[in-house]
A = this chain, B = another copy of it.
Amino acid sequence: MIATSRGRQLTVSPYEGEAMINRRFVLASRPNGMPRRENFRLEEAPVPTPGRGQILVRNKFISVDPGMRLRLSDRKTYAEPVAVGALVGFSTVGTVIASENPGFEVDDWVAGFLGWQEYGLAESKGVHRIVDLRVPVSTAIGVLGIPGLTGYFGLLDLGQPKAGETVLVTSAAGPVGSTAGQIAAIKGCRVVGVAGGKAKCRWLAEELGFAAAIDYRAETDLSQAIVAACPNGVDILFDNIGNAMVDRLLPLMNQFGRIVISGQTADYNLPPAERHGLKNTLEFISKRLTMRGLAASDYAARFAAAATEMTDWILAGRLKYREDIEDGFEHLPEAFIGLFEGTNFGRKLIKLP
């Protein structure tokens, strides 16, 4: 039983009688370089009570995202930095267990940004009901959530693909890159992926329809391997790595090429002084290149339509996705740190009981 702010008793049947303790990870200290386990602290607090207009959600899937690294520094980016001592984390899928909002009912599935905690309060803004249950609910924070939408809007809006063009995707087996690459293929482009390891490359080439997949770990000369795989040059570079990769690829870009800066995983942990600097920048004038930074949140008004289109592609077998789901709330920090080691394969989610 949960007491609401209006004093009503809501039945929250599956959980009734449990000790209503909310476990949550807060920022213990700001990472210096690579994030470490001790930068996060597990805290316990009472499960909060929904006020008027609020819902209480019990999380089922919690994401770890490389882009969160930016918010752990004290500089302002497109999102405010996380304060030391504050809840960390990003997107979540869960069920409503108490509702003081007429738009939600108990047992509704909702996706939102409730962070690394077992229970969270939400208002209408920032969560949405998952109404299309044709695909698993975990996709709402994967291929149909921010990662997939980043691939969708980055490729379509910033990349402006034309049939026959060559699209090079880095971190191509990740949830962003694999979505961008498959949509490029749907649009008639020739898609080349760069990924780490044979299993990822096999998946790209054999299951996702990439024209070629380059295992950067196996290549002694990565640039030469890319040149060989892109005999007509590169029209769209969809990058998730950062400056070293972009600088390497600038000389391979075609006239009027587009560079979509989707992620900068290799640069998030480095102070500017240690970061690889872009030097092949004379290519910008020579080839009239366009380089743009991407944040899917700019396209929120179009999320629902994009998710519907992507769901149709999934059901038609044209858009595939892969999830790397691990049980256990307590593994969140290690799962996040592991993203920067390039070992995980697929959208990394933590599943709660």
Summarize A's interface: helix, strand, loop or mixed.
mixed
Give the number of times this chain occurs in the complex, counting copies.
Answer: 2
* Complex interface residues of chain A between 278 and 318 (CB less than 8 A to chain B): 278-295, 298
Among the 9-residue stretches A134-142, A267-275, A326-334, A345-353, the one with 4 or more Cβ atoms under 8 Å from chain B is A267-275
Is A78 within 8 A of B285, CB to CB?
yes
Is B285 within 8 A of A293, CB to CB?
yes
Is B272 within 8 A of A279, CB to CB?
yes
Q: Which residue of B lies closest to A289 (CB)?
A: B293
Is B293 within 8 A of A292, CB to CB?
no
Most buried by B among A268, A278, A280, A285: A285
Residue in contact with A292 in the complex, picked from B70, B242, B284, CB distance below 8 Å: B284
Instruction: Tell yes or no: A255 within 8 A of B by CB.
Output: yes
Residue in contact with A291 in the complex, picked from B268, B273, B286, B291, CB distance below 8 Å: B291
A272-B279, A276-B277, A279-B275 known; A293-B298 Cβ under 8 A: no
Is A78 within 8 A of B292, CB to CB?
no
By a CB distance below 8 angstroms, the chain B residues around A247 are 277
Is B255 within 8 A of A284, CB to CB?
no
In the complex, how many angstroms separate the beta carbon of A82 from the nearest chain B beta carbon?
A: 15
In the complex, how many angstroms separate the beta carbon of A170 from the nearest chain B beta carbon?
A: 15
Query: What is A's interface to B at a CB cutoff of 8 Å?
Result: 67, 70, 76-78, 242-243, 246-247, 255, 261-264, 267-268, 272-273, 275-295, 298
